[in-house]
Structure formats: C-alpha cells, structure tokens
C-alpha cells in the first residue's frame, strides 16, 4: 500500500533530442526504455529545468552566461523548433492498494507535451503557466518500475532576434502564453531554447477514494483586529464508483519549536459525496481571538500558522491530506489623496514601500528551494518590503512565495503582458495579446488558485507598461473582484461600515481579497494614466534624488541605475579579454563617455557617467582606475552611494510626496552588468549594503540637497528619548566637528529634519571628509541606526582618497564560529585600534538595539513546509540534540598592524575555500554568504560586530578574508 501524499520526481531523469530518437513514446515506456546510466543520445536531464539547462549540464553547448558563448549556441529561430524538442524520461515505483488513486502532476511545462506512461499516451495542452494533473491509477505497475516519457515541444511562436536586438526580439513570443523575456531585453541576451522544458515540479500524489483540490483560505478581521475568522472552501473529488461517507477535518496549529506544533483549532464536518462527483465545500468559519498577525518585513513578525485539511472516508481511512503555512493579515490598497500614489495598508497600518523589481532567479529555470531562500533572504536583509514580479517574466512559483511569507516580502504579481511585446516596440507589436485569449485566462485562473493562500501576495497587475486586451482585462477584473468585506475602504481610504454577515463566504471567491490594477503605470503608479513616467534608469548625481523636481508622482514602479559586480565575478564569468576596463573619453562639453569592451556591452553594462544629463563619471571622481580590481572597487563605492541616496531621497519625502518606490532591478537571472544588488553567482555588490542602511525601519540620514540631518521612523510607534551623535573625521584621523543633539521624540511614520550640518560651510572644511551619524537610545546608549558617509565639498571630488589607500590603520579582529554540519555562523568583532580624540562618546562599541516593532524572521525555522506529509512530534532528546549540536570554535584574534591614525575605510569580508583546497585560476569564493553588514568603515577607536553565515560545500575548509580601501590584497582573519 502506497503512503497517502505526494512524492516529487526530481531525480533520475534522462533527456534526448527528439530527432535522434527513432522510437515512439509507447516503445520507450514498454519494450525499449533508455538504459541506465544514460548512453548516447540520452543524457542526464535537469528537471525542473529546461532543454538548454540540460545541454549546458552535459557540456554539449557552452555556458551561455559566460563571456560571448551565448553567440555560439544555435538559436531556435535558425534551428527550427525540432532542434529543441526533447524527450525526458524517468521511472518511479508506486504500489497501490484497493481504492487508492494516483495522479501524475506537472506544475508547469513550456510549452506543450505528450506524456507516455507504461505505453499509454496523454496530451498536455499548451500554456507555460498552467498545472496538469493526470489520473494514472489504471495504468500503473504496482509491482515494479513505471516508465514515464515526456516529449516537450517549444513555444509555438519562438520568434526571431532582429540584428539590433530589442525588447522581446520580434515580439512573436507574445502570441503564446509564455515568458516574454526569452527573446532578449535591454538587460539580458536571448535564451536560445526559449525556456523549453519541464520547468517546475513533477510529482505523483496518492489519495484514497476522495481527494482535496485547491483549498482557499481567507481571514476576516473585526473589532480592531481582535476578532478574527478563518474562512475555508475546498473542492473535493470522489474518484470512486460509490457514495463516500466522509469526515472532513481542518486543524490550525502554531509551530512551537522545530516540528512541535500546538493545535489552536480543530473542526470536523461529516458529509456525503456522490459517486464520481466534484463538489465544493465551505467549512463553518473558525473563530480566533487576538491571533498572532503576519506583518511585512520591518513592521513586525511574520507569524505563520500551519493549516491542515484531511479527509477520512468510511471503510477506507485517511484519504487525502493538504497543508499550507498561512498568515492572518489584511492587505488594503487605494490611491492616496495627499500624494496621488498608491498606498498599501497591512493590518490597518500604512506601509511605505521600498522594494525592487524581480525578473526570475535563473534564466535557464534551474529553480530550487535553496536558491529561492538565498534570493528572498537577501531582499529581507536589505530591509526591502516588496518585490514586483515583472510581466515579462514568470508567475512565480510556490517556493518563491513560501520564502516571501517567511521573510515578510510583499509581492506584486503581474500577468504575462508587456508594452514592448503587446502593443509597441520595433517592429510595432500586436496590441491584442496572445492569439488564444481563453488559454491566457485559463492560465490566469490556475495561477490565482496556485498562489492565493500566500500572505505575501499583495497585488495582481494586468501587465507591464500595458493594459491587457479589453476582453482579458475585463475577465481579470471579474475573476479578481473584491468580496464586499475587502471593499471596506473607499477610494480615499475612509472606512466604510462593517460587512453584513449575509454576504457570500469570501473563500468561495476565486480570490476576492486583493486589489487588481490593470497595468504597472495606472491607478496610483507613475502618473496613473499609463504614460511613460517611470525611470530614470541611469547613473544620477546623488544629491538629485533629494530634490523636489526629481520625480513628480507618488509611487515610482521602476527607477534604476548601475550594478557592476566585484572583480572576482568578472573573472569567473568572462575570459581575459572581458577583463579590460572601459576607455574614458573626454567630450567637448567636458564630460566623460565610457566605452566598454564588447563582452561588457553584450552583458548589458550600464556606464557610470551620463554626459547628456550632466552627470560626471562617478568612478573618475576617485581617480582613473588602474585595472579591473581598481575599477570594480571604485564601482562599489559608487554603488553604495548611488542606491543609498536613491532610497534616502524617497524616504526623505515619505507620505508628504511619495508612498513608495521599486528599484529596477534587484538581481539578474544571468551574468548581467546592470541593475543588481547581487550578481548571478550570489555575491553582493556594495549597493546591497547602501540599500540595507537606507531602508532601515528607523534610520538617521543626511539630506544631500539641504544638508539637514533627518530621522526616519517608518514604524507604528513613536520614538522617544533618543539622540543623534554627528562627527566629522578628516583624512588625518582628526575629528574637527562633534555634536550631540538634544533629546528627541520622533512621531510614528514620519521623516523629521533635526539640524543642519554646518561643516561644509566652515572656513577650515577639508576637500574630502567623513561623516558618522548615530541615532541612539539615551537610556542605554543602544544604537538604533548608524550611517557613515564619505563626502567632498561642493564641486569637488574624492581624488584625495587615492593617496589615503597607503595609510596603514591598525585593526583588531576577534572571531568565533558556531558550526553545525556544513553550516557556519561566524561572529566577528572588528576594532579600529588607532587613537581616538577625547570626544566623551559612550557609543563607540556600537551595541545595536533590535526594536520589537519590526521584522523578526527566524532563520532556524525558514524551511518551506511539506504539503503532503504530516508533522511528527520531535522527541525531547532530539530537540535538545538539535539545539546544542553546535561546535564552538576557540576564540581567534587577528591583528592587522598599522602605525597611523585614521578611518579604516570601506572594509568588506569575503569567504573562500582554504588555500590548500584552491586550484590555480579557480574562483575560490564560497557563495552565498549572509553578512549582518559589509562595506563598512570604522573611525578611530570604534568597534563593530559582524555576523557571517554560510554553508560550505563538501570537502572544503573555509577561511574568512578582509579587504578594504586601506587593506589591499586581502588578509585572512580566520581559517577553519
């Protein structure tokens, strides 16, 4: 008897090009299966993944993300669709008992497929964003392997790439319901197979006579969020030929620790389901008093309950099980009357949106829980609270949303429409969207059902810079019509009366809980009318972000800039001819134009100058770079300043002018060179830490236009009994300016200017200087926010920092490691031991205060739940063992000697394989790594705690190195 639940089929897959296989699907799954291990033309397949991912894995094509190798791969427009039509094959076992049933499930295939199981054929219809489920009960082998072969066909209209490239190539891909970025964009090269493949989870699910299908969970709140109801509706399918007498159960539990749950509510309902029937059942609502609420990152904890639905059939026992992590929260959205921007409320609290645009994790769709977790945690680490899933990319996967639930990232999900492919562009594209509108709507309905239970999902949007065709737009409005309870805000945010209990249960809607907006520049975004009023997308003068006329509208859905990675990434992703830095050509107007090498241009490099907009090259402000390492280091200085200024500029006018901003974009699904805070290898740029600083829920900042010190309080509580310490440091290690403010009170959700920085106007102001700001609690000197600037006088530059690199500033670094298996957590304590002037400061140790008002995700419980297996209680012994099975390394102290006083500038850690493990020319970095801070600076006498966490590949010993402006070449500070 097979166990009730789901088994994921993600191992043992083989693949072969269809034109190289003379056998039929029936023969492959009966008399002539591929041999194991695979022999030519069969190869090991990447599932989930794509044809191109499989070819790259088997080294049959070069890595399309390396250098110009993508140009050496045959494009589907030239090869024909047959070249990327592939067989995928695997086997599995499933021993059913009487009255058990099995479905074969494909969560997504691009674009259509023929499925053969044990000689039986099934056609999977077209559409990249739809689930397929096949009842295979009658054709399973119960006493041996089941042979599964899938012939996957590419999109019907893969298109051709014009010589000049363009947004979405020739736009033919828009005729299909598929991802549109695959024909190339201004941030990515074309994907040669157009993402053909089994690109999401394949599974078999075993049930008894009755199965549970697509439950819908909705929470409603009354009495100021004290009285909460859980509404649940589910479809039930009776696969048997008899009436099923059922006991339907719903259980809501909270996780106490590990896999130990406390049951909050349990309800059982008895019902009869006719033979062969598909019915919908709505549970009586479950009442909760003051449950723990789910909050976005920066507003509170991401409390999640485990909702489990089971069905028992008389004479059989447990027939099916479904579970989902669920957060009690209410999202509201309307156009703000004061700013004209779209405003979001969560649990009645306005949230100032600071987030980014998301394309997808990997351009070859090598998607995994592990990669998704790193991606989403990175965004939470940056203090972001929203991601926009852009319309030319994916309907993101449940794993993506699962981690957004855990880390508190709101998600704006677009459907598969873009302005470039669905209405404009060169050549002008078809405004009528895909050829098959009903297919589009089928995929939309299925996507809504797939994602609707996630608390992180905040908004549905029709398309990117385009409204869907009228019939599709009208249908989406109908599908996503709000239940009356969720219409309790009028357009200006004034509460309406509470909903009558006579209304239909909200869980019976397709969604009913989230606003639908027809396009990314409509209805409170950009100018609200669809005109091109987002952007800009290039380098800016940092002070411009703070100016009144920089951006006119309340919510900017896209504003972008540079994104150069570190030098190690360039060397890892490009041949030596790609290591040449740009030429700097001075123009007649005195500004500089960058001319990059062809490989950088291919990888969509965006310059650090904008002569036509009077923006000097921001890298040259630090002196002409000598080589790749110098260029990339100076680029990180610019990245940090650029993105910190962008977010601080928006936050400076929080609620008075702006309701939010989304940066274009946060990451690259390939080895691109623009608009990213971490590269495709998962190494962060310094812009990551500029954002992390600027987006703190409580933040102290310098307004670069007015030179006023400002305090930002985005939390729901007043900030009282705090003060600001401001100190100026020159390149000689002297502090000519030190000021401590009076005791301050900062209202909730306000940005308040405190005092003007007068130093730049003083007679003895230095051309280049450092500014250190600290906001702290007066009661215990706990640091709420620390912000460090390097500045030059108006009209100047940073060239004096170049000789400053030769200054040897002494450091003391203490490290201690907690090791659990392959996971390391290293506590670093860094101290600038050069002599500090007597400032009578008590906050040099930087003891940071963690406010209870904002984000507190727990990384120890950040694994996604299984939705098909019951949670078993962990024994007390195992729980103790889990919590204490950590090896504590001895304390290690490293001194970096120096005999000069001054600021230890732009320090950054990295983690590498030990020297004995590294091979010549190989990238030694261990990635991803999570740092509590990086690219930081320390004034004389100042100390900083840094936490570093990472996972080490098998057989590798890690070491942590320190680099910095004054510390060239890197110093190994601890080795394991």
Q: Which of 403, 361, 368 is nearest to 8 (CA)?
A: 368
Token pair 């906050």 is found at 843
185: its two tokens: 């964009």
CA distances from 376 to 9, 371, 402, 919 (A): 25, 9, 10, 31
HSE-CB at 344 with a 13 A cutoff on CA atoms is 28
- Concatenating the DSSP letter of every residue in 893-940 gives EEEE-----S-EEEEEEEEEE-TTT--TTS--B---EEES--SEEE-T
Active-site residue identified among 285, 414, 558, 942 = 558
Tell me if residue 349 is catalytic.
Answer: no
Distance CA 755, CA 890 (A): 46
Write the CA distances from 104 to 122, 124, 201, 294, 312, integer angstroms: 11, 12, 11, 34, 22
User: Distance (Å, rounded) from C-alpha 270 to C-alpha 250?
Assistant: 12
Residue 541 phi, psi dihedral angles, 5° rounding: -65, 125
Which token pair is 924?
A: 């030694």
Is residue 580 annotated as a catalytic residue, yes or no?
Answer: no
The C-alpha atoms of residue 870 and residue 889 are separated, in whole angstroms, by 37
Distance of CA 744 to the CA centre of its chain: 36
Q: Report the C-alpha gap between 756 and 771 in whole angstroms.
A: 13
118, 30 contact by CB (below 8 A): yes
Tokens representing residue 261 in the block: 């749950």
Burial class of residue 135 (count of CB atoms within 10 Å of its CB; 0-12, 13-18, 19+)? middle
Q: What share of the chain is helix, strand, coil (3-state, %, to 5)?
A: 20, 35, 50
- CB burial readout 726-750, b (16+ within 10 A) else e: bbbbbbebebbbeebbeebebeebb
Catalytic residue among 465, 648, 696, 942: 465
Strands 750-756 and 744-746: unpaired
Give the containing element (helix H, strand E) for 451: helix 437-451
User: Where do we find the tokens 């078993």?
Assistant: 872
Token reading at 110:
């691009």
What residues are labeled active site? Answer: 465, 558
């Amino acid at each position: 008897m097979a166990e009730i639940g789901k088994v994921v089929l993600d191992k043992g897959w083989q693949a072969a090009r269809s034109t190289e296989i003379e056998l039929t699907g029936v023969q492959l799954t009966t008399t002539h299966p591929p041999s194991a291990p695979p022999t030519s033309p069969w190869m090991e397949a990447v599932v989930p993944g794509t044809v191109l991912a499989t070819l790259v894995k088997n080294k049959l094509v070069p890595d399309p993300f390396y250098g110009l190798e993508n140009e050496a791969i045959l494009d589907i427009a030239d090869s024909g669709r047959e070249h990327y039509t592939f067989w995928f094959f695997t086997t599995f076992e499933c021993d059913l008992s009487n009255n058990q049933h099995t479905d074969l499930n494909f969560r997504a295939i691009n674009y259509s497929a023929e499925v053969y199981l044990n000689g039986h054929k099934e056609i999977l219809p077209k559409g990249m964003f739809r689930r397929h489920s096949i009842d295979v009960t009658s054709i399973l082998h119960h006493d041996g392997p089941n042979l599964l072969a899938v012939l996957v066909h590419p999109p019907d209209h893969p298109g051709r790439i014009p010589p000049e490239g363009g947004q979405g190539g020739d736009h033919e891909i828009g005729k299909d319901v598929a991802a549109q970025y695959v024909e190339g964009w201004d941030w990515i090269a074309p994907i040669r197979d157009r993402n053909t493949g089994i690109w999401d989870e394949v599974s078999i699910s075993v049930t008894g006579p009755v199965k549970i299908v697509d439950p819908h969970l909705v929470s409603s709140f009354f009495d100021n969020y004290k009285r909460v109801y859980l509404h649940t509706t589910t479809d039930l399918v009776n696969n048997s030929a008899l009436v099923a007498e059922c006991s339907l159960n719903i259980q809501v539990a909270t996780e106490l620790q590990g896999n130990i749950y406390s049951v909050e509510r349990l309800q059982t309902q008895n019902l009869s389901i006719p033979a062969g029937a598909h019915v919908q059942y709505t549970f009586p609502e479950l009442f909760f008093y003051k449950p723990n609420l789910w909050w976005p990152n920066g507003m509170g904890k991401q409390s999640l309950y485990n909702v489990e639905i089971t069905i028992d059939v008389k004479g059989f026992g447990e027939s099916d099980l479904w579970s989902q992590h669920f957060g009690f929260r209410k999202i509201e959205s309307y156009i703000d009357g004061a700013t004209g921007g779209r405003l979001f409320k969560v649990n009645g609290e306005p949230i100032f949106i600071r987030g980014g645009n998301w394309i997808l994790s990997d351009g070859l769709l090598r998607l995994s829980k592990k990669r998704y977790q790193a991606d989403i945690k990175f965004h939470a680490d940056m203090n972001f609270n929203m991601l926009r899933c852009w319309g030319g990319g994916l309907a993101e996967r449940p794993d993506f949303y699962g981690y957004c639930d855990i880390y508190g990232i709101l998600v704006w999900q677009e459907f598969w429409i873009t302005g470039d492919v669905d209405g404009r562009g060169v050549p002008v594209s078809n405004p009528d969207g895909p050829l098959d509108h009903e297919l589009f709507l089928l995929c939309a309905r299925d996507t809504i059902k797939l994602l609707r239970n996630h608390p992180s999902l905040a908004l549905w949007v029709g398309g990117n810079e385009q409204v869907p065709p009228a019939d599709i737009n009208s249908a989406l409005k109908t599908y996503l019509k709000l239940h009356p309870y969720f219409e309790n805000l009028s357009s200006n945010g004034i509460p309406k009366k509470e909903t009558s209990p006579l209304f239909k249960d909200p869980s019976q809607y397709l969604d009913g809980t989230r606003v639908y907006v027809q396009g990314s520049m409509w209805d409170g975004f950009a100018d609200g009318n669809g005109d091109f009023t987002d952007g800009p997308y290039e380098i800016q003068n940092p002070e411009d972000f703070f100016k009144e006329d920089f951006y006119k509208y309340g919510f900017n859905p896209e504003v972008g800039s540079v994104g150069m990675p570190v030098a190690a990434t360039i060397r890892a992703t490009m041949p030596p001819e790609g290591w040449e830095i740009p030429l700097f050509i001075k123009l007649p107007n005195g500004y500089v134009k960058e001319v990059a090498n062809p490989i950088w241009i291919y990888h969509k490099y965006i310059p650090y100058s904008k002569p036509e907009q009077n923006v000097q090259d921001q890298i040259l402000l630090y002196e002409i770079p000598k080589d790749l390492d110098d260029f990339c280091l100076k680029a990180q200085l610019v990245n940090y300043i650029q993105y910190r200024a962008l977010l601080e500029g928006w936050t400076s006018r929080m609620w008075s002018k702006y309701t939010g901003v989304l940066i274009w974009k946060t990451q690259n699904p390939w080895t691109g060179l623009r608009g990213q805070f971490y590269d495709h290898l998962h190494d962060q740029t310094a812009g990551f830490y500029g954002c992390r600083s600027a987006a703190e829920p409580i933040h102290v900042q310098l307004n670069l236009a007015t030179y006023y010190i400002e305090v930002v309080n985005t939390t729901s509580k007043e900030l009282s009994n705090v003060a600001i310490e401001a100190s100026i440091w020159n390149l000689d290690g002297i502090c000519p300016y030190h000021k401590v403010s009076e005791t301050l009170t900062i209202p909730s959700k306000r940005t308040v200017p405190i005092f003007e920085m007068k130093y730049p106007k003083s007679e003895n102001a230095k051309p280049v200087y450092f500014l250190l700001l600290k906001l702290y609690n007066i009661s215990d000197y706990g640091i709420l926010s620390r912000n460090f600037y390097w500045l030059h006088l108006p009209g100047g530059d940073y060239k004096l920092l170049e000789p400053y690199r030769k200054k040897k500033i002494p450091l003391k670094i203490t490290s201690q490691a907690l090791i659990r298996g392959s996971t390391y957590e290293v506590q670093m304590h860094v101290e600038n031991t050069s002599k500090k002037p007597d400032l009578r400061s008590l906050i040099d140790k930087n003891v940071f205060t963690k406010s209870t008002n904002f984000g507190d995700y727990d990384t120890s419980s950040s694994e996604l739940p299984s939705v098909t297996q019951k949670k078993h209680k962990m024994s007390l012994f195992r729980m103790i063992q889990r919590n204490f099975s950590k090896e504590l390394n001895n304390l290690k102290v490293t001194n970096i000697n120096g005999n000069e006083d001054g600021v230890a500038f732009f320090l950054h850690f990295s983690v590498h394989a030990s020297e004995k493990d590294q091979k010549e020319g190989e990238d030694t970095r261990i990635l991803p790594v999570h740092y509590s801070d990086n690219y930081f600076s320390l004034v004389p006498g100042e100390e900083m705690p840094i936490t570093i966490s990472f996972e080490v590949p098998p057989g590798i010993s890690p070491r942590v190195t320190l680099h910095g402006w004054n510390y060239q070449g890197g110093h190994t500070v601890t080795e394991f």
